[in-house]
Amino acid sequence: MADTFYEDIRRWLGQTSVITNYRKIQSTRELPKYSAINTELSNRKQKSIVYLCPSINVPQGGVKVIYNQAAIINEMKGQLAASILHPYNPKFTCTWFASGAPIKKDNKFDKALDFVMIPEFWAVPHARLLHKLGIRYGIYVQGGYIISRNSGEELDDAYHNASLILAISDDTVECINMAFPECVNKVYRVHCSVNPEKFSASSKKENIISYMPRRLKAHSQLVTFFLRKMIPQHWRIESIDGLNEDEVAAILGKSKIFLSFSELEGFSLPPVEAALSGCSVIGYTGEGAKEYWDKEIFTEIYSGDIKAFVNAVLNKIGELDSSTYVENSTAIQNLANKYSTKVEKLDMQFVSNKILEILN
């Protein structure tokens, strides 16, 4: 069963204040019961990093990132193992994408062997629960603009007591350092990766404009409304919402244009996947995407400028219709190199070494 907590949040996206409703739900949500056990009872010797994860089985870039990074750490076959824990439903596992990450089936931790990585939206109160048990933890910030959801002394304590703080982008590092300047020496940037074999241009591109409507729903409805009134009949608009990873990759591979509706995001994965799939990406950076927003592939629209958004798409259609489609292979390769598995593996090796130092 999916975590209804996150299903409720997903229904509210684009309709009312996500932060306000997040707090309303969290205030009534029963917290998981974590426990600490002695090493003698755990019947194992290997040290471990456990990633806490919500139990939601719809496409979420942040979920895919931690599943993939847990799998990478295990593939290194070093001194540190990794697993995913869905604390509200330990028997749950994501099925919308393929991953080799093992699932931890209980909320018990060994104080000597386990290090817990908490997503930023759970920093309060999960950090407090783990700290009271003497379990060392870190915070993984994939959204620098949502760390204030539970501002106050308890949030400050969560970051101060964290042994390690990871950030998914340069922009996210800056957000953390602004909020917690005293923690700057334990903040580390890590990269996610995108598989260029899965997300690649089809040999037969079609006149498709694809988009993800889940973020900034009102904006996407307005832009697509006006576009449907104005685009040539030989073009069509397709949503990629609710599809699994393979289905998304198939549509992006055939698309020529992707619309980005990123809203104050730490990284924003879909525009990268679209760009590697040979799409011209038009839309909002969400701030975090500025680090990869190469003008050869991406066209930035200031958030809320609906008319400029529509006109930019129409101009791009005019360009594509007037010439034979040619993908910008150099810019795409540069993007693939920046977010490659090789770079991500180096980051995970660094993270593993830091955690082993903390646990020793």
Mean pLDDT, rounded, for 75-82: 94
Global pTM exceeds 0.85? yes
Given a cut of 50, is residue 8 above it in pLDDT? no
- Written as one letter, the residue type at 193 is S
Mean pLDDT, rounded, for 16-31: 48
Q: Buried b vs exposed e over 136-161: b needs ≥16 C-beta within 10 Å?
A: bbbbbbbbbbbbebbeeeebeebbee
- Predicted pLDDT of residue 14: 39
The CATH number given to 208-338 is: 3.40.50.2000
Strands 280-284 and 35-37, sheet pairing: unpaired
- Predicted pLDDT of residue 128: 95
**pLDDT tens digits for range 133-180:** 999 999 999 999 989 877 789 999 999 999 999 999 999 999 999 999
Given a cut of 80, is residue 232 above it in pLDDT? yes
**pLDDT tens digits for range 100-132:** 899 999 999 999 999 999 999 999 999 999 999
Given a cut of 90, is residue 341 above it in pLDDT? yes
- Predicted pLDDT of residue 79: 94
Percent of the chain scoring above 70 in pLDDT: 90
- Predicted pLDDT of residue 243: 87
How far, in Å, CA of 188 to CA of 193, rounded?
A: 17
Given a cut of 70, is residue 17 above it in pLDDT? no
How far, in Å, CA of 103 to CA of 24, rounded?
A: 29
Mean pLDDT, rounded, for 278-296: 94
- Predicted pLDDT of residue 41: 63
Lowest mean pLDDT among 13-27, 181-195, 199-213, 280-294: 13-27
Report the mean per-residue pLDDT for the chain. 89
Percent of the chain scoring above 90 in pLDDT: 72
Question: Other C-beta atoms within 10 Å of 195: how many?
Answer: 16
How far, in Å, CA of 282 to CA of 205, rounded?
A: 17
Given a cut of 90, is residue 44 above it in pLDDT? no
Domain with CATH 3.40.50.2000 in the chain: 208-338
Given a cut of 90, is residue 324 above it in pLDDT? no
Domain 4-193+340-359 grouped into CATH 3.40.50: yes
Q: Given CA atoms 331, 333, 334, 338 in this order, what sign does their dihedral have?
A: positive
